[in-house]
């Protein structure tokens, strides 16, 4: 069946400029990108590029923007039959202003109507139960997240900060960026601190933890082992989408039979490629290693 991603779909507009102008003034945009985006869509597209059939459970408005984004997702090989079209709701919009040096700002219009409800998730129950993997973004409302974890039939990958620890009982993988890791564990996102706190999370349910570290690199922890994978030395242009790429690549590698160590290394390399370009859209060309 492949993977089902439960999360966000939005129109991404990226404007690249030397620096943000001061208030009351203007500045030239050197490059503009308009693309399918949102964490859910980014991960679904990435999985498809990695050879994993992917479906998306998300919300789009009943507007031309939603029509265009779903058409783009279909071209990318993503099953959008479980994307809800919400009447009277504009499709989500994320505008990224990217300055030289990788400094970014997001302007987000994500009204309540584009967030998933429990009913939206349960309408896709058949696909969730049949999936080899279900990726759930914890930025969605808790009732929708709980429903997705409850009905998921395969590998369950949680992405973000867990606010309800009961969710961990149904999780196989928990991934978080450095800020989220510090919030989740209550300690700085440094290797030693995270390793000290990790056993408590593993006891709660997940088999694999994937945490970004504030000093750079990503730490993967599983019962009986761990691996810290440094980031590649390439020039970072835009960190947007790096976490989504890591989550998609990690899932694809685990589904292919890779060990946690192999999957972690592949995922960090995949994320390292995405951050060398503006915007969060993945462009994977390598397939994950098989076990």
- Asked if the model's pLDDT at residue 234 lies above 80, the reply is no
Residue 140 falls within a domain, yes or no?
yes
Q: How many residues does the chain have?
A: 291
Yes or no: say if 241 and 281 are a contact pair by the CB < 8 Å rule: yes
Q: What CATH code is carried by the domain that includes residue 73?
A: 3.40.1190.20
Residue 81 falls within a domain, yes or no?
yes
* Per-residue pLDDT, 231: 87
CA distances from 28 to 4, 137, 175 (A): 40, 35, 37
DSSP notation for 165-230: GGGGGG-SEEEE-HHHHHHHHSS-S-HHHHHHHHHHHHHHS-SEEEEE-TTSSEEEEETTEEEEEP
pLDDT band at 238 (very low <50, low <70, confident <90, very high): confident
Residue 29 falls within a domain, yes or no?
no
Q: How many domains does the chain have?
A: 1
DSSP lists the bridge partners of residue 60 as: 85
Question: ∠73-241-234 over CA atoms, to 5°?
Answer: 125
Cα 162 from chain centroid (whole Å): 14
Residue 23 falls within a domain, yes or no?
no
Q: Which structural domain, as residue segments, surrounds residue 135?
A: 3-7+39-91+111-274
Candidate from 37-46, 193-202, 230-239 with smallest mean pLDDT:
230-239
The rounded mean pLDDT for the chain is 95
Yes or no: say if 238 and 230 are a contact pair by the CB < 8 Å rule: no
Yes or no: say if 65 and 35 are a contact pair by the CB < 8 Å rule: no
Residue 255 falls within a domain, yes or no?
yes
Residue 101 falls within a domain, yes or no?
no
CA distances from 255 to 131, 192, 251 (A): 11, 29, 6
* Per-residue pLDDT, 205: 95
Q: How many beta carbons lie within 10 A of that of residue 19, not counting itself?
A: 11
* Per-residue pLDDT, 291: 66
- Asked if the model's pLDDT at residue 11 lies above 80, the reply is yes
Which tens digits make up the pLDDT trace of 35-84? 999 999 999 999 999 999 999 999 999 999 999 999 999 999 999 999 99
Yes or no: say if 131 and 2 are a contact pair by the CB < 8 Å rule: yes
Please compute the mean of the pLDDT values over residues 246-250 and round it to a whole number: 98
Which tens digits make up the pLDDT trace of 271-282? 998 898 889 899
Residue 188 falls within a domain, yes or no?
yes
Residue 279 falls within a domain, yes or no?
no
* Per-residue pLDDT, 232: 77
């Amino acid at each position: 069946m492949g993977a089902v991603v439960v999360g966000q779909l939005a129109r991404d507009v990226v404007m690249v400029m030397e620096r943000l102008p001061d208030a009351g003034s203007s500045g030239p945009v050197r490059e503009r990108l308009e693309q399918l985006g949102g964490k859910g869509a980014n991960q679904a597209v990435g999985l498809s590029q990695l050879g994993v059939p992917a479906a998306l459970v998300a919300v789009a408005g009943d507007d031309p923007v939603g029509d265009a984004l779903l058409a783009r997702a279909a071209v990318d090989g993503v099953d959008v039959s479980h994307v809800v079209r919400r009447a009277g709701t504009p499709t989500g919009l994320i505008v990224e202003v990217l300055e030289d040096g990788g400094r970014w700002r997001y302007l987000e219009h994500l009204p309540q109507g584009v967030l998933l409800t429990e009913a939206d998730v349960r309408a896709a129950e058949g696909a969730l139960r049949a999936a080899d993997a279900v990726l759930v973004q914890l930025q969605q409302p808790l009732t929708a997240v709980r429903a997705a974890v409850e009905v998921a039939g395969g590998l369950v990958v949680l992405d973000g900060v867990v606010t309800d620890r009961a969710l961990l009982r149904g999780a196989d993988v928990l991934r978080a960026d450095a800020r989220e890791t510090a919030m989740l564990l209550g300690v700085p996102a440094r290797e030693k601190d995270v390793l000290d706190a990790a056993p408590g999370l593993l006891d709660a349910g997940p088999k694999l933890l994937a945490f970004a570290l504030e000093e750079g690199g990503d730490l993967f922890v599983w019962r009986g082992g761990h691996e810290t994978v440094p980031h590649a030395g390439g020039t970072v242009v835009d960190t947007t989408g790096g976490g989504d790429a890591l989550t998609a690549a990690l899932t694809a590698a685990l589904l292919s039979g890779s060990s946690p160590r192999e999957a972690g290394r592949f995922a960090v390399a995949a994320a390292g490629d995405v951050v060398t370009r503006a915007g969060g859209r993945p462009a994977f060309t390598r397939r994950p290693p098989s076990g």
